[in-house]
Structure 1
Amino acid sequence: MHDCCLKGFKWEGEPIGREETFAGNSTYVSGNNSDVAILVIHDLFGWTFPNLRLLADSYAEETNATVYLPDFFGGEVLPFDIVAKDPAEWAPLDLPSWAARNNKEVREPEIFAFAKGLRAQYKHVAAVGSCYGGWAVFRLGAKENDGLVDCISTAHPSWLTKDEIQAVGVPVQILAPEIDPVFTAELKEFSQKTIPSLGLPFDYQYFPGLEHSFSVRGDRANEAEMRGLERAKNAAVHWFKQWLQ
């Protein structure tokens, strides 16, 4: 992971959802639609990060869906206050060890099990993930997993590979900031050339001047970042409405 995956701001506000257990995972749930579900795959800060819970509430209210934000890190969460700290203070987090505990091979089985649980219960299912969650939504939306999810959305994905991009088989939305050492210019260009060639609906939105993590940890006191994170949220909501109704 890169330093940019930890930068950002914690938003003000109180989540209004509830905590439940689904498919064996502790889960934040918002909304009550019995036909439509949205799976939110969290970033490094985990399922308790308030910003993601506030986004889940917005998705639930604005799309009339039941939104699930599960714990995919086995109960481990990063301390929220580090988003405001100098990067020099992040060393004790030992990110290499964290990455080994939560790599794709370790976490993919439970992510797939959760999505299968949603598909068994709901008529329509979408998956959305930023940063760490980005690679996972592409895996869920792969052609080989036909029917598992109806569409995917990702903002500034991490650990995403060209093979995963090329293997996708459902409508794709990518929200891409200009400044992103993880979702690089090369991956941006590859996505824009490859996904349309697959014959898939594709929504690529570019956010000039904004950085990796803007959509989930942007500074609401900064006008440009506030406009960007609102635009990202609205774009995702519009995407879900197109493919989940």
Structure 2
Amino acid sequence: MASNPASRCCTVGYKHSGTPSGENTKVGGIDAYIAKPSAGKTHSQVAILYLSDILGIPHNAKLIADQIAANGYLTLMPDLFNSDQLPPNVTEDFDFVTWIREGTGGKNPHTTKEVDPIVRQCVDYLHNEHGVQKIGAFGYCFGAKYVCRFLKGDGLVDAGYVAHPSFVSEEEVKGIRGPLSIAAAEDDFVFPEEKRHLTEKLLREASCQYQITLYSGVSHGFAVRADLGKRGSKWATEAAFLQAIDFMDSWLLVENS
């Protein structure tokens, strides 16, 4: 794999302060959160699809979606887990692979067979209901896999950004054709140094535009759940977000196309 399966570090972190300003909504039968730019600050005909980590649509993710919207992008974050997201701080012996394969209780799986259609339905919703012409995808941890799967140069997703990815296969990286930006943590069992270097090699061989930025002194999950009371962690979180916005501005905006 180009990144390892999830581990307990994917559920550990800090809750950030702030009040979400977006709205809970439905996309077909899928629960979702939508954040809209303020009047006069909307980038026309572009949107961001936010594909979350295994905690689903928690407080911190909503705040990030709101920040993306504040930068002019209509932002949609679907529930990828059919209301079976994991709670924070799972036990050390939690079986992530079985949870992906079967879900809680054994009858609610979260494999590509279930998640791919959710992503595709949200892409269609943005095109059909909001008149979107270009879509950028943000993927954190689990969601990064689906950014890679949909970044194939076929017009479904036009640019991708992932932070501390998990569950991404080598074949999924080989299939990437659109521009991709990666924010990586120095201390990351799930996306360690050898996986970063392998990913770089595969992206180079795929001849797609890519960026990999490594943030020192932070661990897996830093882009979403870092301790913002620590200066280094706060800087890395904010810098990774600015990395994502700058990348999307360069690849999505009509005036730059």
TM-score calculated relative to the size of structure 2: 0.85
- CA gap of 1:197–1:96, structure 2 versus 1, over 3 A, is closer
For residues 77 and 3 of structure 1, the distance between their equivalents in structure 2, rounded to whole angstroms, comes to 14
Q: CA deviation digits over 1:115-168, x for unaligned, max 9? A: 23323431111111110001110001024xx11111000001100111111110
Q: What are the equivalent positions in structure 2 for 1:67-216 lying under 5 Å apart?
A: 67-79=75-87, 82-83=88-89, 89=91, 95-100=96-101, 101-120=109-128, 121-143=131-153, 146-216=154-224
Query: What SS does structure 1 have at the residue aligned with 2:249?
Result: helix
* Structure 2 residue 48 is the aligned partner of structure 1 residue 38: yes
Q: CA deviation digits over 1:26-64, x for unaligned, max 9? A: 1111114451110001111112x01110000111111x1
Aligned 8 A contact 1:119 1:148 in 2: no
- Deviation for aligned residue 1:7: 1.4
- Deviation for aligned residue 1:111: 1.7
- Deviation for aligned residue 1:110: 1.8
For residues 151 and 225 of structure 1, the distance between their equivalents in structure 2, rounded to whole angstroms, comes to 26
> For this pair of structures, how many residues does the alignment match?
234
Higher helix share: 1
Counterpart in the other structure of 1:55:
64
5+ residue gaps, structure 1 = none
For residues 6 and 219 of structure 1, the distance between their equivalents in structure 2, rounded to whole angstroms, comes to 14
For residues 46 and 153 of structure 1, the distance between their equivalents in structure 2, rounded to whole angstroms, comes to 18
- CA gap of 1:16–1:90, structure 2 versus 1, over 3 A, is farther
Partner amino acid, structure 2, of 1:182: V
- CA gap of 1:20–1:238, structure 2 versus 1, over 3 A, is same
Partner amino acid, structure 2, of 1:243: W
Give RMSD over aligned pairs. 1.8
Counterpart in the other structure of 1:229:
237
Aligned 8 A contact 2:48 2:74 in 1: yes
Counterpart in the other structure of 2:33:
28
Q: CA deviation digits over 1:194-232, x for unaligned, max 9? A: 213333221111112211111011111111111110111
For residues 90 and 20 of structure 1, the distance between their equivalents in structure 2, rounded to whole angstroms, comes to 34
TM-score calculated relative to the size of structure 1: 0.89
